[in-house]
Amino acid sequence: MVAIFRIFVFLLILIGSSSAHAETDDPISPAPTSTSIKVPEVVEVGVYLLSVYDLDHGASSYLMDMYLWFKWKGNIDPTQTLEFTNMIDKSGASIDNSDSVPDNLPDGSKYKIIKVEGRFTDPSSFYNYPFDTHDISIKLEDYVYGTNDLIYKIAPETSYDRKLSIPGWNIIELKTTVDSNSYDSTFGVDDPSLMYSKATFALVIERPTAIFYWKLMLPLAFIVLAGLTALVLPSGDFDARSALIVGALLTTVFLQRVTPTCSPMSVIWCSWTRYMF
């Protein structure tokens, strides 16, 4: 009887261990959860600069004429929500976006080109004057869709007209950047981390070194020489010596305000003859 009871207990233990082992080998996997990741629409944007004129470093402004094109795949038309963040005097700008229907390309993408002419601004720094460089830039941003919905990509055909010239400046290169821009306001939206894609096209210009030597140093050398001649005049010629010093001082002041159409040497000659004769 005892032997039968032991056999029965052994069978129960064997059955329990086998069922536990089966549960371990065949765990119940959790039900898969479906997660969808939203992919933003990539918009290829390009610029072809035609001209830059009326460059005013005092006001940090300039006029630009260009072609701007967009290429994209998706339902968002980026030309309808485009904003030039550094454009000033928008009432006087010319933006030819009359063709509201984009063209369909063979690869399935959409394409639209617009003509833009307006005044832009970019703060000028004269820390390294007269060897300073400046960025003549255009900054684009979508004012409706954030980076979760739309991001910019620079078109490889972006360039500028090889005949483009800015009097008094040398063109170095055309820099392009794409980054994300955020604001210190939620604009009434509950998402404070909302960011917007921004594309920047910057034409880098520098001042020629010849301006420093021929339009600044050479006239100043003549002014210093004219002032030093007062030391070799007889001490009795007080009026002539005073006129030389005052003429040199005023010529230096006039030289700083000379316009590009006026030669610095003509300013020196006018001031010299005014105080000598």
Give pLDDT tens digits for 52-93: 998 887 788 999 999 999 999 988 999 989 999 999 887 777
Structural domain boundaries enclosing 246: 210-276
pTM of model > 0.75: no
Asked if residue 49 belongs to a domain, the reply is yes
User: Is residue 163 domain-shared with residue 66, that is, in the same domain?
Assistant: yes
Domain boundary among 180, 207, 234: 207
Helix (H) or strand (E) holding 45: strand 41-56
What does the buried/exposed string (b/e) look like for 149-161 if buried means 16 or more CB atoms within 10 Å of the residue's CB? bbbbebbeebebe
Query: By C-alpha distance, which of 55, 250, 28 is closest to 166?
Result: 55
Compute the distance between CA of residue 150 and CA of residue 142 in angstroms, rounded to an integer: 8
- Domain ends where: 177, 207, 237? 207
Confidence of residue 112 (pLDDT cuts 50, 70, 90): very high
Domain count, the chain: 2
104 and 197 assigned to the same domain: yes
Domain boundary among 183, 207, 231: 207
pLDDT score, position 241: 74
Residue 79 and residue 175 in one domain: yes
Is residue 5, in this structure, part of any structural domain at all?
no
Collapse the DSSP code of 57 into the 3-class scheme (helix H, G, I; strand E, B; otherwise coil) and give the result: coil
pLDDT digits (tens, 9 = 90+) for 13-46: 656 555 544 444 444 555 555 555 678 899 999 9
